[in-house]
Structure 1
Amino acid sequence: MKIFKNIYIWAIVLAGALSLAACSDDDDQPSVSPISTGTVSDKDGNEYKWVRIGNLDWMTENLRCDDPFYEDVYNPKWTNKFGDGLVLTGTLEDWQKWYAEFGNYYTWEEAVANAPEGWRLPTDDDFKALERELGIKQGDLDKDGWRKGASNLMAQNGEGTCLHFVFGGEICNYSYSQIGLYHQYDYGYYWTATDVEVNKEPAAYARMITPGIDAVNRLVVLQEKHYLSVRYVRDAQ
């Protein structure tokens, strides 16, 4: 069944990350602080903080415009052929708290389209520029899979980089017929604007980080049935 395939794939992914963690050294981390800070608003008027790292301004919160996922469980984008909507467990209060911390989940097309004026969904190269600033070696930036470094600095909140990348998992087709939140708290999963094709299917580069492991996964994700977190970036003003 598909759910077991997903679990198997995640086990392989995590094993690779753990092998990197075993040889990581916090003393290798550079000390990085924002050059500048400010705020930006989305199309719905929600306000977000941003920080300047290197030559780019990065939002420090996940996008949360449009209807919250928990209020729109029968949205056609994730309703299956049987008419079943998004599978969620918990109370309304649980999901309101979740939404405040982890934001909303978006298709790749939505992620591109929702950028505030003057901002953009970060490209694969934008993420590489950030990863270079945060200590990933130049020779590793173009590699696929887990690259040692940067993740701990990406997750810093209230100190250091203040980027506060969080671990909200994703919404995806995690079993044969159900779509719901997958790997909550296990990883943060973020779209990039760099689209590609995999076996003639639309896909895009993404970034994955997971708590306690100082590495960033550069990978390609099929656009269909994957709904990821979103941050925006702009060239320093």
Structure 2
Amino acid sequence: MKNKIYLFGIFLLLVFSACEKDEHEVISIKPEATGVFVDTRDGHEYKWVRLGNLDWMVENLVYGVGDFVEPYYNIDDPDDKQMEDFMRNMEIYGGLYPYDIALTAAPEGWRAATDEDWKNLEQVLGMDSDELDKEGYRGDRQGELMQQDSVGTGLCMQLGGFFNYYGTRRLTDYMGVYGFFWAISPEQDEAEDVNAIYRKISYDLPKVYRGTTLKIKQMSIRCVRDAVKE
């Protein structure tokens, strides 16, 4: 009897050790290629990384913010401090765009990432195929991998929050906490459809959220293009 208890104890210890090792296992996924793209519309330079069959910009789009894209102030009559905060936030997190503008905001040769593009990336980063079309939090470490800098995937997903309207009040929410990214979908581009698909990434959760929300909200854009391999 004592031998059985002893052997069972060893078995539990081995199982626990295996789980602990797996929990802290380091996953390293490196881009297949890297490069730089200059948006001729404003001269802004974007680095990009190649993962799977797509090139992903490694920062959120900034084109048109303060011009045809409304600045994300929290008050209607911004003072100098609000202007300074806005400019600093845009440099860190990029712009926040409503869905209709996201459809055409990307530079020539690129596009705002579609729902299929996001699923492609998630699968490259190890998400099970049976989770890709689900809503809510999915995967295990894909959200964490998306935030890695050049020591990992290089995607550097910035957590810019979102800009929303609450009645007559405007408010920027969750900046530095969550990244909200449009996931363009042809099925939801019709004007009468008020909702669209998006992704949410958190600073403290390794999974990736997939869901729908109102198109009038302003969110980040990550641009992609089909990789041209030589």
* Coarse TM-score class (shorter-chain normalised): 0.7 to 0.9
Q: Does 1:44 align with 2:42?
A: yes
**Residue type at the aligned position of 1:57:** D
Larger Rg: 2
Question: Matches of 2:120 and 2:226 in 1, distance apart?
Answer: 11
Q: Runs of at least 4 residues of structure 1 off by over 4 A?
A: 86-91
Gaps of 5+ in 2: 1-21
Match of 1:114 among 105, 115, 134: 105
Structure 2 counterpart of 1:60: 58
Per the TM alignment, residue 114 of structure 1 is displaced from its structure 2 partner at its CA by 1.5
Matches within 5 A, 1:27-176: 27=25, 30-42=27-39, 43-68=41-66, 85=76, 90-149=81-140, 150-173=142-165, 175-176=166-167
Q: Does 1:212 align with 2:212?
A: no
| RMSD (CA atoms) | 2.8
TM-score, normalization: structure 2? 0.78
> What is the DSSP-based 3-state SS (H/G/I as helix, E as strand, rest coil) of the residue aligned with 1:229?
coil
Q: Is the 8 A contact 1:86 1:180 kept in 2?
A: no
> What is the DSSP-based 3-state SS (H/G/I as helix, E as strand, rest coil) of the residue aligned with 2:106?
coil
Q: Is the 8 A contact 1:193 1:205 kept in 2?
A: yes
Structure 2 counterpart of 1:13: none
**Residue type at the aligned position of 2:224:** V
Per the TM alignment, residue 112 of structure 1 is displaced from its structure 2 partner at its CA by 1.6
> What is the DSSP-based 3-state SS (H/G/I as helix, E as strand, rest coil) of the residue aligned with 2:152?
coil
Question: Matches of 2:119 and 2:65 in 1, distance apart?
Answer: 31
TM-score, normalization: structure 1? 0.76
Question: Matches of 2:79 and 2:54 in 1, distance apart?
Answer: 36
Per the TM alignment, residue 117 of structure 1 is displaced from its structure 2 partner at its CA by 1.2
> What is the DSSP-based 3-state SS (H/G/I as helix, E as strand, rest coil) of the residue aligned with 2:151?
coil
Identity of aligned residues (%): 34
How many residues align? The count is: 202
Gaps of 5+ in 1: 1-23
